[in-house]
């Protein structure tokens, strides 16, 4: 039986002891990276509306307006929920404002949002031509933001598919070992279940998740090798699911 890891108690921070003051947030510093990113936004048909330093980490952020067709969801996140998109459309129309800017990163493929796909699709369906967002210079932040996504609660299937897609994207980049991305992947079972869901969308993954949590750990292997191992484990899980289905059918 796998040993349960002892929870680490978070050290309590003194009030107002972390991060920047309001005056410090106003300053971003004129770095070459920010100048080049701002110029790229303008070249892409967008506009830089302002900038600030993040009040917690002190990293620079650009406030931008971009042509809506230039922004896409990261390719490894879950598919949008049509009912949720429709609810957002109704809210935006009633309020008459788009008040929740996307988080955006830029890479070779253009602009990606790791956490705003439903808002993006809602604005597109409403016919908007421009989308506002917070442009983060570090593209790799997209993987961490996905782990913190709270726009719409994930179910096991959505989270698992999102996680295995993220692992595949990182594997293509040759980005380290699976265990290096424990924060981004959150739980080892999501990787195995994700590979299984890719083969069988009707899988009742929730029935197996508690078992997998007891026996799965993050692999200390390169991501390409780890993805292949997840596929092997997923195949075994699907065989188990076939056996369970046969017993249920007989009953």
Domains and CATH numbers, the chain: 29-146 (3.90.1530.10), 154-250 (no CATH)
Q: What is the pLDDT, as a whole number, of residue 7?
A: 56
* CB 19, CB 56: distance < 8 Å: yes
Residue 238, classified by CB atoms within 10 Å of its CB into exposed (0-12), middle (13-18) or buried (19+), is middle
Residue 157 structure tokens: 């299937």
- Provide φ and ψ at 225, rounded to 5°: -70, -40
Residue found under tokens 């994207």: 169
Q: What is the pLDDT along the chain (251 residues), one digit of tens a residue?
A: 445 555 567 677 888 888 999 999 998 877 888 999 999 999 999 999 999 999 998 999 999 999 999 999 988 777 788 988 998 999 999 889 999 999 999 988 789 998 889 999 999 999 999 999 999 998 877 777 766 654 555 688 888 998 999 899 889 887 789 998 888 888 999 999 999 999 999 998 888 988 899 999 999 999 999 999 999 999 999 999 999 989 888 88
User: pTM, whole model, 2 decimals?
Assistant: 0.64
- Provide φ and ψ at 45, rounded to 5°: 90, 10
């Amino acid at each position: 039986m796998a040993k349960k890891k002892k929870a680490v108690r978070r050290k309590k921070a003194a009030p107002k002891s972390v991060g920047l003051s309001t005056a410090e947030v106003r300053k971003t510093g004129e770095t070459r990276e920010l100048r080049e990113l701002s110029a790229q936004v303008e070249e892409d048909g967008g506009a830089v509306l302002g900038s600030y330093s993040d009040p917690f980490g002190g990293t620079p952020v650009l406030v931008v307006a971009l042509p809506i067709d230039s922004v896409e969801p990261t390719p490894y996140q879950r598919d949008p929920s049509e009912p949720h998109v429709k609810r957002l459309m109704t809210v935006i129309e009633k309020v008459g404002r788009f008040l929740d800017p996307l988080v955006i990163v830029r890479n070779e493929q253009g602009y990606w949002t790791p956490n705003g796909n439903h808002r993006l699709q809602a604005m597109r369906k409403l016919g908007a031509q421009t989308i506002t967002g917070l442009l983060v210079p570090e593209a790799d932040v997209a993987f961490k933001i996905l782990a913190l996504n709270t726009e719409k609660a994930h179910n096991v299937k959505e989270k698992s598919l999102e996680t295995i897609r993220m692992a595949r994207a990182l594997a293509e980049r040759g980005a380290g070992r699976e265990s290096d991305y424990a924060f981004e992947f959150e739980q080892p079972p999501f990787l195995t279940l994700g590979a299984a869901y890719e083969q069988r969308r009707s899988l009742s993954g929730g029935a197996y998740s508690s078992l997998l949590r007891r026996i799965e750990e993050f692999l200390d292997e390169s991501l390409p090798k780890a993805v292949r191992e997840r596929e092997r484990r997923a195949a075994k899980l699907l065989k188990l699911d076939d056996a369970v289905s046969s017993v249920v059918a007989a009953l």
